[in-house]
Chain A
């Protein structure tokens, strides 16, 4: 077997303005690392469109579609593959035009590092700022500034130093980002694969050298998170939860919790086609068997018991809008987070970020390629981590219910519940999280029904308790959002148990009906009405 000790696969996103030479650079990396097939190269050389003065036009290798070849621009995200004995690379080649922000965000969403093309003659442009900001927003922390067309500037050291200086202001705004700089000529190959003799003042590695050695942040760090994709149940004695680990590691015996219910369990086995595993880590796809029968299914997360995610229905998010039809305040969509799809409403569009100037503009709609700060309300409470802490559990997409199109990509910035009411929840938020409003029920006429009613309420995940002591005021329990079943007379109670059926089961049904009638469980209905669908 040829097991070479290799670095893990590196995903690269590239961005650049029109004519920065991005496609030429990628063509050069592919060509010089011998990842281009000769017949593809010959097809390119034969092509009617060739913008290179001499030799094959390397940019044609990566500009795939007919329209692009004819217009000489890249219009979509194209993925390229190349490898060296040390490492394999996936390059997302993303276009630099203003109207294609969405493609840049797409390429950056899975990238470990971003290569930012800078034209040595023009320096840092608003476009460069835009690209760096978008890559950073989507979680890319390692930025490589490829200062291209150095040949046209005579490979002067001062040009390179000036651009490095120019970028410092930009970097100061991108918290946690680190930058590396390369003086290159994509056309001639200087410092792309081999160090160039034409830049004696440059002592750093070639771009490829850097790509081969840079460390990506491994997703195996961080707390265990896995979205349940499906339940594998080939026979009655086996129930396996299948998913791809989003972050962290897991071992048999580990304590976990199902989210959003919070149900605890332990890992019994990590099952695989090749035999049971004694350890698994991100981004492996695995099947987990738990030590007890619990109710978990697609849409739920399995998380470490020791470090659980936040949970909220109201979220502050950054959204990259990707559709021609603008996003408007109050609009209802579907939100896909992990493997869960839930209705969502854009409660407030606060502002739009101009990534080229890094300024915020007040707005109440987002147009194609806008990036905005948006407050959301979801129908189901979502278990989540902040995007900047965990890309997998902090990301979501928005889908149109009618056209089924993917409309936008979202990054969770914070829980609004926590931010506005640090420490104490607002009663409406608590009601939303509990799934019911607080209510006092006077059961003094039929106190024997209290245990059965409590059981019924708990079974439907309501938060209920029985209050037998007449001296205890119910107020503080109601403030805590609870359903209080009092067995002593409470004239102030919203639900009075009078005239109930003598049959206990019927009486319980009548009580539940009365609670519905009092609007105790009306939250979800309200919500659906609010969507206008």
Chain B
């Protein structure tokens, strides 16, 4: 018996590459949903590996809410150019021009317009039949039941009660025109798998992920870094904290955590003592119990 085994990170890598290749082979017009965050950075890295020595055979789509950190946009443009990837950017212009913002609309409505609607419209406009995302099943309870190839109807909606069975590594990507599949190659990864992979593979990330002294306001136990779009609420005063983002989103809605971790390796050490999930600092997930499931049904990633 040869007893060759694959370390678990390489197992996850091989699985993700297989899924990315299935997507490229089965669909007419796939794309990769690129949020600039750590999970999509891992996805892009995996896609480079999957199709080497060829180029990534699909475009990267960024849904720009116009509330992103300037550092994210700068990183996006530089990184995609460096690796020769094709970048597309889509914004829900109508909503932005109508002045959509989380202060007046509330986070749930704002997120629905600038992310969910924008994504569904963007996919429809490009007639994309598959969208690859960096969603992981360990992020949130309703994601635990998401398929790797997850069917969306013509309205981009997910029906958790009526999902295609998914066995072995046989993925059924057949859709009719207008329907699409959301593909989640890193479904089986945990947050520490992502960081370990980033460390081992030396994947470049937006500097916001690493600790630095930053100007923040403290809002409901969450540190909100002060950026152009962040308004001070009555009674708030900025303070300087050494902190980092655990998860990236829009400036008014993603919080930082107090941390001294300046590298992926230090973040891993920190994670091993952490007892709280990365999405806790995303204000949108807590609008109501089960709110992620509601968003996903409507088409959110």
A residues apposed to B, CB below 8 Å: 1-2, 6-9, 34, 37-40, 43, 46-47, 61-62, 64-67, 69, 75-81, 83, 87-88, 90, 102-103, 105-106, 109-110, 218, 220-221, 229-230, 232-234, 238, 240, 242-244, 249, 271-274, 281, 283-285, 287, 298, 322, 336, 339, 391-392, 395-397, 399, 404-406, 409
Contact = CB atoms under 8 A, between A and B. Distances in A.
Interface stretch (B35-43, B61-69, B165-173, B223-231): B165-173
Interface string B256-297: 000000000100100000111100100000000110010000
B24 A230 contact: yes
Interface string B161-180: 10111111110101110000
A266 B166 CA distance: 34
Contacts of B219: none
B4 A249 contact: yes
A83 B190 contact: yes
A284 B53 contact: no
A43 B2 contact: no
B250 interface: no
A240 B5 contact: no
B280 A37 contact: yes
Given A9-B11, A43-B289, A81-B188, A298 B276 contact: no
7 contacts: A37-B277, A62-B141, A65-B142, A220-B3, A230-B25, A238-B53, A274-B49
A25 to B, nearest CB: 16
A152 B198 CA distance: 47
Nearest to A63: B141
Given A218-B2, A406-B166, A244 B141 contact: no
The 7 A-B residue pairs with the shortest CB-CB distance, nearest first, are A37-B277, A285-B17, A9-B8, A220-B4, A404-B174, A64-B141, A109-B167
Contacts of B2: 218, 220-221, 249, 281
A480 to B, nearest CB: 37
A8 B7 contact: yes
A272 B167 contact: no
Nearest to A284: B14
Interface in B129-169: 137-138, 141-145, 160-161, 163-169
Contacts of B190: 81, 83
Contact of B145 (A46, A76, A220, A409): A76
A411 B168 CA distance: 11
A34 to B, nearest CB: 7
Nearest to A60: B141
Nearest to B17: A285
A77 B48 CA distance: 31
Contacts of A47: 289
B6 A8 contact: yes
A202 to B, nearest CB: 30
Contact of B21 (A8, A83, A242, A392): A242
A391 B4 contact: no
Nearest to B4: A220
Nearest to A404: B174
B141 A40 contact: yes
Given A8-B8, A9-B11, A229-B18, A39 B277 contact: yes
B235 to A, nearest CB: 26
Contact of B14 (A83, A106, A283, A405): A283
A529 to B, nearest CB: 24
Nearest to A108: B167
A404 B134 CA distance: 25
Contacts of A6: 7-8
A398 to B, nearest CB: 10
Given A271-B52, A298-B25, A406 B161 contact: no
A272 B145 contact: no
Contacts of A271: 52-53
A106 B188 contact: no
B50 A106 contact: no
A220 B163 CA distance: 32
Given A242-B21, A249-B4, A79 B170 contact: no
B172 A232 contact: no
A220 B5 contact: yes
Nearest to B20: A285
A217 to B, nearest CB: 9
A75 B163 CA distance: 12
Contact of A273 (B7, B18, B52, B192): B52
A65 B289 CA distance: 11
A273 B4 contact: no
Contacts of B144: 62, 64, 78-80
B1 interface: yes
Contacts of A298: 25
Nearest to A402: B176
A395 B8 contact: no
Contact of A272 (B1, B12, B52, B142): B52
Contacts of A39: 276-277, 280
B126 interface: no
A66 B50 CA distance: 37
B209 to A, nearest CB: 19
Contact of B290 (A9, A66, A81, A221): A66
Given A1-B199, A1-B200, A232-B53, 9 more contacts: A77-B145, A79-B187, A81-B190, A218-B2, A229-B22, A271-B53, A272-B52, A274-B49, A404-B176
B55 interface: yes
B15 interface: yes
Contacts of A109: 167-168
A244 B12 CA distance: 12
B8 A38 contact: no
A494 to B, nearest CB: 42
A218 B4 CA distance: 7
Nearest to A339: B25
Contacts of B164: 405-406
Contacts of B93: none
Contacts of A273: 48-49, 52
A87 B53 CA distance: 33
A317 B4 CA distance: 30
A272 B5 contact: no
Contacts of A110: 167-169
A404 B149 CA distance: 13
B21 A81 contact: no
Contacts of B103: none
Contacts of A61: 141
B54 interface: yes
A399 B176 CA distance: 14
A76 B293 CA distance: 14
Nearest to B277: A37
